[in-house]
Amino acid sequence: MALCKDLFLCLISTSLLVSFCSAEDPFVYYNFEVTYITASPLGVPQQVIAINDKFPGPTINATTNNNVVVNVRNKLDENLLIHWSGIQQRRSSWQDGLLGTNCPIPPKWNWTYQFQVKDQIGSFFYFPSLNLQRASGGFGGFIINNRAIIPIPFDTPHGDIEIFIGDWYIRNHTALRKALDEGKDLGMPDGVLINGKGPYRYNDTLVPDGIDYETIEVHPGKTYRLRVHNVGVSTSLNFRIQNHNLLLAESEGSYTVQQNYTSLDIHVGQSYSFLVTMDQNASTDYYIVASARFVNESRWQRVTGVAILHYTNSKGKAAGPLPKGPDDEYDKTFSMNQARSIRWNVSASGARPNPQGSFRYGSINVTEIYVLRNKPPEKINGKRRATLSGVSFVNPSTPIRLADQYKLKGVYKLDFPTKPLTGPPRAETSVINGTFRGFMEIILQNNDTKMHSYHMSGYAFFVVGMDYGEWSENSRGTYNKWDGIARATTQVYPGAWTAILVSLDNVGVWNLRTENLDSWYLGQETYVRVVNPEATNKTELPMPDNALLCGALSKYQKPQDISAAATSINGTKLKLFFSLLMFLCVVIFH
């Protein structure tokens, strides 16, 4: 074949063509070089994970149904996987970037993710999923725009602004990992970063001199869409902008009923879009604040992120005290009521032209119920571990999805308990047996003393209820069966429960975890395995040709020529390769 002159083109195989040609939608391409850089966000130099030398990394900007190609080169000194949090990876958990589905990308290697952002819109983020790496950075935004033919339920904003907030440690992720491995707590974070930068010096005692802070410049009178993500380790943050209302418009892929908030609690892993109108007189700049929630000690004051909102016609610097957040350390009802007030806009169009509410989740019969209970970390076989329902998850050396593909036995057990175990805790690779096309009710009961947020990959789930105390069958009477928000990450208050409903229509192996990095690292997660009993390629894409193989399959993995790692990935070539692939699709299949 003459076309085979180029090494790139020789990689084309039928299966690749099949999976590519299932979508004649446009492609967007990114190259990610993941490295350490030295940065001093809190005034102390430390090693931070950057993508293409940026911290936070570049934003992926796609449109519903686009095919996204990201060639990731791992220039760290340890394994890497990038997880696309909230991206549903329809029919392809192969691209989810978690240890249950993917072998890690070894140092110096690269791996190309390729997936379609099918039937999704909204604001998400990506991050490195292994070994607490997110505590050192490596995160960035992921925007999915509406297709041009589908109206968004608000006027086109003047600009789009990404804001990453998160608690931050001066210790790097390897040092934090060591603490956890030694059975210690991570302790209090050293600060909160906004867009990778430390706080503006609003108080000379609390903030040292010489810290670089974030400034967001805006034009008076205009309305902007702020996409705010909590990318931190484990601290819930209250987000607010001095003198400005936050008009909530979207949460992780669902348009919400639009309501003004003076501040909103954003828990670890959550994303929101706010429409903010620059309607003040610009007598000064304004503070943008992200402060730790539910903490009562004054030493937490320095764990506050402060950035600056600067109008182009501003007459001076921001001064004086920060705008106050909610003052309710001893009563979390305010926060829970605020969470309950976030409603789905049932009449807005989402990724499809039909209204979001046309999927009437409230009238679907539940087919399986899981009550999951977390606890503070405890010792299992002498090691400090975190559990879900009494099971601490152990990642298998062969990813679950690959074990299925190669019909390997004994890698995991499909025996995750439907109710919390009452006996001693176990450390196991125990997975939930999900029924394809089933409708699952999951009750997340937080028996820890800290706030948690839970995330499920592969799906958006409906948040139908939350309350303090123990969930019981009677709690169902309080469920919101009409306009509960569909999202990927929900908060679960300490001593409280949150109920979610999920339609298991996406075949694959999907992670269900706490977003609190320390508890996740210590095993507070599982997977939901959803298999279509009928053998067909319609409900799941075939394993990609470039899938890395490890564990029991490592003998099949060809070594990678890492001499290529010295030269950076040539984007032009990559683009050419995929354009030719599309051309072949058209020629062969039409």
Ligand X SMILES: *[C@@H]1O[C@H](CO)[C@@H](O)[C@H](O)[C@H]1NC(C)=O
| Footprint on this chain of ligand X (rule: CB under 6 A) | 8, 15, 18, 36, 47, 59, 61, 63, 71, 110-112, 143, 145, 160, 172, 174-175, 203, 205-206, 245, 247, 258, 260, 277, 279, 281, 283, 296-297, 301, 321, 365, 414, 433, 435, 447, 449, 494-495, 535-537, 542, 546, 564, 569-570, 572-573
Nearer to ligand X, 247 or 402 (CB): 247
14: enclosing H helix or E strand:
helix 14-21
Q: Which CB, 147 or 382, lies closer to ligand X?
A: 147
Q: Considering beta carbons, is residue 215 or 532 the nearer one to ligand X?
A: 532
d(C-alpha 476, C-alpha 472), whole Å: 8
- Min CB(266)–ligand X separation in Å: 19
Closer CB to ligand X, 247 or 509, in the complex:
247
Given a contact cutoff of 8 angstroms between Cβ atoms, the answer to whether 129 and 82 are in contact is yes
Confirm if 79 and 130 have CB atoms less than 8 A apart. yes
Nearest distance from C-beta of residue 251 to ligand X, angstroms: 16
* CA-to-CA dists, residue 517 to 195, 235, 254, 303, 497, angstroms: 19, 10, 25, 18, 20
Would you say 230 and 270 are in contact if contact means Cβ atoms under 8 Å apart? yes
Helix (H) or strand (E) holding 191: strand 191-194
Q: Which is nearer to ligand X, 330 or 381 (CB)?
A: 330
Among candidates 369, 359, 364, which has minimal Cα distance to 483?
359
Q: Which is nearer to ligand X, 382 or 421 (CB)?
A: 421
Q: Which is nearer to ligand X, 133 or 270 (CB)?
A: 133
Query: CB 79 → ligand X: shortest distance, Å?
Result: 13
Output the 3-class SS for 264-318: EEECCCCEEEEEEECCCCCCCCEEEEEEECCCCCHHHHHCEEEEEEEECCCCCCC
Angle at 102 between CA 26 and CA 409, to 5 degrees: 130
Distance between CA atoms of residues 310 and 157, nearest Å: 18
Return the number of the residue (237 or 547) whose C-beta is nearest ligand X: 547
In whole angstroms, how close is the CB of 352 to ligand X at the nearest point?
A: 19
Residue showing the smallest CB distance to ligand X in the complex: 47
Residue 191 CB, shortest distance to ligand X, in Å, is 15
Q: How far is the CB of 109 from ligand X (least distance, A)?
A: 7
Report DSSP state, residue 16: H
For ligand X, give the closer residue by CB, 117 or 382. Answer: 117
What does R_g of the chain's alpha carbons equal in angstroms? 23
Element housing 576 (H / E): helix 571-589
Closest C-alpha among 526, 521, 359 to residue 455: 526
Residue 585 CA to residue 17 CA, distance in Å, equals: 6
| Residue 73, amino acid | R
**Are the C-beta atoms of residues 525 and 416 closer than 8 Å to each other?**
no
Identify the bridge partners of residue 500 per DSSP, sorted by sequence position.
Answer: 442, 463
Residues 6 or more apart whose Cβ sits within 8 Å of residue 334: 326, 328
Minimum CB separation of residue 353 from ligand X in Å reads 19
* Spatial separation of the C-alpha atoms in residues 201 and 473, rounded to whole Å: 51
Minimum distance from residue 304 beta carbon to ligand X (Å): 10
Residue with token string 């000194």: 77
Closer residue to ligand X (CB): 165 or 241: 241
Closest distance of CB 227 from ligand X, Å: 9
- Reduced to 3 states, what is the DSSP secondary structure of residue 94? helix
Closer to ligand X at the Cβ: 267 or 382?
267
Output the smallest distance, CB 374 to ligand X, in A: 9
H helices within 5-149, ranges in order? 7-10, 14-21
- Shortest gap between Cβ of 364 and ligand X (angstroms)? 6
Q: What phi and psi values does residue 582 have, to the nearest 5 degrees?
A: -65, -40
Find, among 73, 135, 158, the residue nearest to 108 by Cα. Answer: 73
Output the smallest distance, CB 448 to ligand X, in A.
Answer: 7
- The CB-of-534 to ligand X minimum distance in angstroms stands at 9
Looking at beta carbons only, is 321 or 382 nearer to ligand X? 321
Site of tokens 């039909």: 354
Work out whether strand 237-241 and strand 286-292 pair parallel, antiparallel, or are unpaired. antiparallel
Least CB distance from residue 383 to ligand X, whole Å? 22
C-alpha separations of 531 from 413, 509, 528 in Å: 15, 8, 10
Q: Which is nearer to ligand X, 382 or 407 (CB)?
A: 407
CB closer to ligand X, 133 vs 489: 133
Q: Which of 207, 479, 489 is nearest to 322 (CA)?
A: 207
Whichever of 264 and 382 has its CB closer to ligand X, that residue is 264
Q: Considering the complex, what minimum distance in angstroms separates the CB of residue 398 from ligand X? A: 18
CA distance 242 to 290: 11
Would you say 164 and 79 are in contact if contact means Cβ atoms under 8 Å apart? no
